[in-house]
Structure 1
């Protein structure tokens, strides 16, 4: 048996084993939880800072979910950069409809970094009344026990609680492809990292003890990285604490997506990951189904066994397990699911190479660059 045949066989078998392990972990961590966690009478008050910008798909549903939390004492601080932002009238209406909720809108653009989102959030962090603060994107649906589920993970060894977004309500094939990116790929790997103690922050939810971030330089310190969630991860690790993930994760209704929308968003995230965590990003080239499929085909050729039946069995196991994860977790999966998984895995090597070749990207009309954040590493 040749060395090449042994190496290819080991690689394909190892990749499949890790793939199945990650799916088993994600099923365990992300399974639907129908229980509603009740808030204790002495629950600590919480500030929720929500940056807003424009009218995104399902924005009224996502914003309204923040007003309907089953928690005794919390405040909502919405942050907009401009008074003429089209989301402002909607916010005024929602606040008028929920006058019993402590909610306010802050408008202004204070430049503390090159990151427009961080600049928008700064005023909300400064004005937050309580020592527990969640910075939460406005385009996710918050469960009624959102705060309780954050607090559930905030033990003494945890410096930050986050949640990756789970795509839902997709409209069209490319929106379903984004679900394949967000759900059974990115969220799966994040929950595996969380399981082994290497959790990474993601900006859909950043739940802090104010004193801990202030001890590391305050919210301005998040501007040390092109992506504020990468800075969060490094700050927490430098404090000797862990980033933990909320269970189950929050959902992001996607609506309609064009192919260009999905590509630009995934390219931006890939370039940011490459800039902030180059070592971890270097491993992503073998994280999808494309490399082990090629290795298995080469193995079959070298071993003199039929290639097509081998590939059919391998792909059925690989993508069947991924489909099972979506089903068990209650995530979106349609008749196009396997096709979107395959398209995503064909995109991954292209995104990987593209991330190493360039740094520029566009975010909400702003031209930005992914810059290595050595100041926090």
Structure 2
């Protein structure tokens, strides 16, 4: 096969796979719509919320958590240190909504190198009910939050999750964060579920507590550095499925910086690399950069206009992404396509960073992300 033809064919194949992932995701995703109020007989739910620090939307996310349309639920807020500034926000919200059972637990159970999981342990063990939701503090819960999670549970389900959908970005880097979260990461996660490859996402996780407790409890999620990776493997090992909610939940972003985006994406890349290396390896082919480069190589060799080729590839890559966001009611703006282009320029560097060792930052916590085998080797005493 001639190199020119091979490059053109590979470019087309990548663009078609990009389009296929968007179509698959669109089949699983539904535009946000209000679910009817539940019957009084629905089971009670415990919602465990690990928190650290005050964020721009903390007051709003707390108010939403206390305003859910579910007959009986408890909120268990978990913080590692009593001097955390978020304590004041939480106690104020608890005082404003005395009708909702809520507790604030303080302590740091070091069961893993994952600070969020360590923070959740005390909440899980204190939960009163058989249905437990682990919910990040920056999730903007809709009033039917519990209904949507429960609606995704099936007889063969082991876990229900939701990936975050970015909203309300401020500034250009907030737009880039939206481009990462929405039409890239959420899209591929839902496409994976459509293919029977459901992966857990730690933003919102609905567990049947007796089921998980019978298989090691929350401490079993310390088997991997990422609790969602450990959850995925545990559920698959039990012959059950990870399901995603039909309409993923919103995460308001506010202002972001390039450094914040790089730190977060590099951390997630490294986590995917050490937990699911076979799925991570092909990520170098995601985004518009690989098909664009291949198409330009083929066009240059064939004497075809390079600007026209570039425009054709970018339209084929980004128009379906924008259509997905528009159809599902996600954030779109005049800067969206430029943000997607910047995102795709960052993807190869982020992928390369995923293969490198070294410490990464998680909200002020320095984490050394490595494979389980390496960790066990380093923990083995010398001479053992």
Q: TM-score range by the shorter chain?
A: over 0.9
Paired residues for 1:59-78 under 5 Å: 59-78=58-77
Give the deviation of 1:374 after TM superposition: 5.5
What is aligned with 2:196? 197
Aligned to 1:8: 7
> Is residue 271–residue 359 contact of structure 1 (8 Å, CA) maintained in 2?
no
| Residue aligned with 2:53, SS | coil
- What is the CA distance between 1:33 and its match in structure 2? 3.1
Q: Counterparts in 2 of 1:133-282, with a 5 A limit?
A: 133-282=132-281
Q: Is the 8 A contact 1:226 1:369 kept in 2?
A: no
Tell whether the 8 Å contact from 2:224 to 2:372 is kept in structure 1 after alignment: yes
Q: Secondary structure at the match of 1:361?
A: strand
Contact map agreement 2:81 2:107 (CA 8 A) in 1: yes
| Whole-angstrom CA distance in 2 between matches of 1:33 and 1:229 | 24
The Cα shift of 1:100 comes to 0.7
Say how many residue pairs are matched. 374
In the alignment, is the contact (CA less than 8 A) between 1:166 and 1:179 conserved in 2?
A: yes
- Alpha carbons 1:153, 1:244 under 8 Å: kept: yes
Kept in 2, the 8 Å contact 1:160–1:242? The answer is yes
Alignment of 1:1-377 (within 5 A): 2-373=1-372
Whether the 8 Å contact between 1:267 and 1:354 is mirrored in structure 2 is yes
Distance 1:209 1:339 in 2: 42
Which consecutive residues of structure 2, in runs of 5 or more, have no partner in the other structure? 375-384
Distance 2:16 2:214 in 1: 41
Q: What SS does the aligned partner of 1:341 have?
A: helix
Query: 1:313 Cα deviation (Å)?
Result: 1.7
Deviation at 1:21, TM superposition (A): 1.7
Instruction: Calculate the TM-score normalised by the size of structure 2.
Output: 0.94
TM-score, normalised to structure 1's length?
0.96
**SS state of the match for residue 252, structure 1?**
strand
Per-residue Cα deviation, 1:119-141 (whole angstroms, up to 9, x for no partner): 11000000000111100001010
Matches of 2:372 and 2:275, distance apart in 1: 6
Q: Distance in 1 between matches of 2:134 and 2:333?
A: 32
Change (3 A) 1:365 1:304: same
Aligned 8 A contact 2:48 2:124 in 1: yes
CA deviations over 1:226-250 (Å, ceiling 9, x no partner): 1111111111111111111112001
After TM superposition, which residue ranges in structure 1, 4 or more long, deviate above 6 angstroms? none
CA 12–74 in structure 1, closer or farther in 2 if over 3 Å, else same: same
Q: In structure 2, the residue corresponding to 1:170 is in which secondary structure?
A: strand
| Contact 2:357/2:370 (8 A) holds in 1 | no
Q: 1:238 to 1:256 in 2, by over 3 A?
A: same
For residue 357 of structure 1, give the secondary structure of its aligned residue in structure 2: coil
C-alpha distance in 2 between matches for 1:100 and 1:353? 50
Residue 10 of structure 1 deviates from its aligned partner by: 2.2
Mean CA deviation greater in 148-157 or 38-47: 38-47
Unaligned runs of 5+ in 1: none
After TM superposition, give the deviation of residue 359 of structure 1 in Å. 3.6
- 1:2-33 CA-to-partner distances (Å, cap 9, x unmatched) read 43223222211111111112212333333323
Partner-residue secondary structure (3-state), 2:105: strand
After superposition, give the CA deviation of every residue in 1:50-70 in whole Å (9 maximum; x if it has no partner). 001110120111111111110
- Asked if structure 1 preserves the Cα contact closer than 8 Å seen for 2:50 and 2:135, the reply is yes
Question: Any idea what the Cα deviations from partners look like across 1:319-377, whole Å, max 9, x if unmatched?
Answer: 111111111111111111001100000100011111112242011222111121359xx
